[in-house]
C-alpha cells in the first residue's frame, strides 16, 4: 500500500522538522519533504503531529498485551523477561494488529530469587502466553550462568537480563541473590555473544554493583533514597543507559494510576481488568520519596546519561498495579517531563534513543528508509507531552491500525 501524510507537524524522533509531508510505500517511509505531491491514499494531518511509533523499553508481555500496546501507538515492546519460542515470534512478525517484540527470554536469577515472590496465583514474568506454568531456570554458580546465557542465545534472546534484587523495596526482604562472581560471568558471556547485559536494580547498592560489573543498561532507577554525585558520575562514565520506569516506582511508593485509567483517551481502550489494575498499586515501599526518584532521573539526564521510556507493564493483576501496556508509556512521558526533561527529550526517550541503544536501526525515526511505524496525534506533544494520548491514527509497517 502507498499513502501520503500531508500537512503534518513532524517530530522525527530527534527534533521538529520544517517538512510537512511523508510518503510511505509498503512497509517503509520513502520520502519526507515539504508539500510533496501526494502518492496513493492521502491522509490530511492538519492540526496534528506525526511521530515515530513509540517504543516501550521494559515490559513483560503477551499477545493481548501487544494488541493493547499498538492501540496506544506503541509499535515496539522490548520485553525484559518472558518465554517466547522462535516459532511464536515468527508468527507475530507480520500481524498488523500487534506491536513488534524483542525479548530477553528468561532472566538470570538465583533459585528462589526475584521474580518468584510475585507469583500470586497468576502468570509470573516468564510464563507462556497461554497462562500455563513453566519451570523458570535459575543459576547458582558462574558456570551455570555461562550455560544459562548460552541457552538464551540459542533460544533467540535479543539481550540478556540479570536480576540484582534482594527484595527490600518489593515487600520481600531477604530474597536470595546472585553472587558477584556469577553476575560477572553472565555479563562476560553475554558480551562474548555480542549481546547487551541489562540489570534489574531497584536500590542504590544494586545499581553501583551493576555498573561496577559492566552492565550496558539499567532497567530501573533506584527507589531507596536520593542519588549521590559519586553514583551518578559512575553511571555516566560507564556509558550505560537507564530506563527509570517511573510509573513502576510511583506504584511501588503507593501511588495508583487511577487518573490515567479515567482519562477520556484511555478508559474506552482498556478492559475492566486493566482499568482495575491501573487503579491499584504495588505499595511495597510507601516510605520512599518520589521527589527523590524524580531528582535522580533529572541528575542522570543532566550528566548525559541516556534515559529511555519503559513501564514494566506485565499482567492485569492488582498486586502488579499502576501499570498497563501502551497507556503507561504516555504516563511515563509525562513523568519524565515532571522530572525535568523537555517534552521533545521525553519523546526522544520513546523513539530514537531506544532504537539506537537496542540497535534497532530500522525504526525510531521519521526518515526515508525507516519502517513505516508511525503515530499521528492531535495537538503538539513537543509543547504539551500529554497530547500523545490524543491518538488520531497508528501505522505498523505501513498498515493502519483498524483498516
pTM above 0.85, yes or no: yes
Residue 77 β-bridge partners: 56, 101
Residue 351, pLDDT score? 99
298-315 confidence digits (pLDDT tens)? 999 999 999 999 999 999
Give the span between the Cα atoms of 123 and 129, in whole angstroms: 9
Residue 120, pLDDT score? 55
| Helix (H), strand (E) counts: the chain | 13, 16
Return phi, psi of residue 75, to 5°. Answer: -95, -10
Residue 118, pLDDT score? 83
Return phi, psi of residue 271, to 5°. Answer: -75, 165
* Contact residues for 70 (Cβ-Cβ < 8 A; gap 6+): 97, 98, 99, 326, 394, 396, 401
List strand residue ranges (DSSP E) for 12-70, in order: 21-25, 28-33, 41-44, 48-52, 54-59
- Ranges of residues in the chain whose predicted pLDDT is under 70: 120-135
Residue 133, pLDDT score? 41
| Domains of the chain with CATH codes | 1-51+365-403 (2.30.40.10), 54-362 (3.20.20.140)
Residue 131, pLDDT score? 39
C-alpha distances (whole Å) from 327 to each of 73, 84, 260 are 9, 23, 8
**Angle made by CA atoms 226, 228, 232, in degrees to the nearest 5:** 110
Residue 117, pLDDT score? 86
Scored b (16 or more CB within 10 A) or e, 33-51 reads: eeeeebeeeebebeebbbb
C-alpha distances (whole Å) from 201 to each of 78, 115, 222 are 17, 12, 7
Give the span between the Cα atoms of 398 and 182, in whole angstroms: 44
Residue 132, pLDDT score? 38
- Residue 220 grid coordinates: 530501573
Amino acid at each position: 500500500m502507498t499513502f501520503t501524510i500531508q500537512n503534518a507537524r513532524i517530530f522525527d524522533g530527534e527534533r521538529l522538522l520544517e517538512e510537512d509531508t511523508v510518503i510511505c510505500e509498503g512497509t517503509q517511509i520513502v520520502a519526507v519533504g515539504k508539500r510533496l505531491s501526494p502518492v496513493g491514499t492521502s491522509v490530511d494531518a492538519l492540526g496534528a503531529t506525526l511521530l515515530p511509533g513509540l517504543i516501550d523499553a521494559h515490559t513483560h508481555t503477551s499477545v493481548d498485551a501487544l494488541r493493547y500496546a499498538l492501540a496506544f501507538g506503541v509499535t515496539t515492546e522490548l520485553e525484559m523477561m518472558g518465554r517466547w519460542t522462535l516459532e511464536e515470534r515468527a508468527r507475530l512478525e507480520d500481524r498488523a494488529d500487534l506491536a513488534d517484540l524483542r525479548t530477553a527470554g528468561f532472566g538470570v536469577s538465583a533459585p528462589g530469587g526475584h521474580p518468584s515472590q510475585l507469583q500470586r496465583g497468576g502468570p509470573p514474568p516468564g510464563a507462556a502466553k497461554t497462562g500455563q506454568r513453566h519451570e523458570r531456570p535459575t543459576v547458582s554458580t558462574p558456570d551455570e550462568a555461562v550455560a544459562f546465557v548460552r541457552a538464551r542465545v540459542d533460544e533467540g534472546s535479543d539481550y540478556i537480563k540479570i536480576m540484582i534484587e534482594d527484595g527490600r523495596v518489593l515487600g520481600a526482604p531477604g530474597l536470595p541473590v546472585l553472587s558477584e562472581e556469577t553476575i560477572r560471568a553472565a555479563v562476560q558471556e553475554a558480551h562474548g555473544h555480542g549481546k547487551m547485559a541489562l540489570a534489574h536494580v531497584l536500590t542504590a547498592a544494586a545499581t553501583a554493583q551493576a555498573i561496577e560489573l559492566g552492565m550496558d543498561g539499567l532497567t530501573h532507577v533506584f527507589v531507596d533514597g536520593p542519588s549521590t554525585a559519586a553514583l551518578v558520575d559512575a553511571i555516566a562514565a560507564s556509558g550505560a543507559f537507564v530506563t527509570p520506569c517511573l510509573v513502576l516506582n510511583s506504584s511501588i511508593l503507593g501511588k495508583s494510576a487511577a487518573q490515567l485509567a479515567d482519562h477520556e483517551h484511555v478508559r474506552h481502550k482498556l478492559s475492566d481488568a486493566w482499568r482495575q489494575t491501573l487503579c491499584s498499586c504495588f505499595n511495597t515501599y510507601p516510605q520512599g520519596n518520589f521527589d527523590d526518584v524524580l531528582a535522580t532521573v533529572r541528575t542522570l539526564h543532566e550528566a548525559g546519561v541516556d534515559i529511555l521510556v519503559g513501564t514494566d507493564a506485565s499482567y492485569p493483576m492488582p498486586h502488579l498495579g499502576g501499570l498497563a501496556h501502551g497507556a503507561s508509556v504516555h504516563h511515563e512521558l509525562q513523568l519524565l517531563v515532571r522530572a525535568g526533561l523537555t517534552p521533545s527529550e521525553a519523546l526522544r526517550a520513546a523513539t530514537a534513543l531506544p532504537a539506537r541503544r537496542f540497535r534497532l536501526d530500522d525504526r525510531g525515526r521519521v526518515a526515508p528508509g525507516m519502517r513505516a511505524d508511525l503515530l499521528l496525534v492531535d495537538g503538539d506533544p513537543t509543547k504539551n507531552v500529554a497530547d500523545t494520548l490524543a491518538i488520531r491514527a497508528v501505522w505498523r509497517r505501513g498498515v493502519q491500525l483498524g483498516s
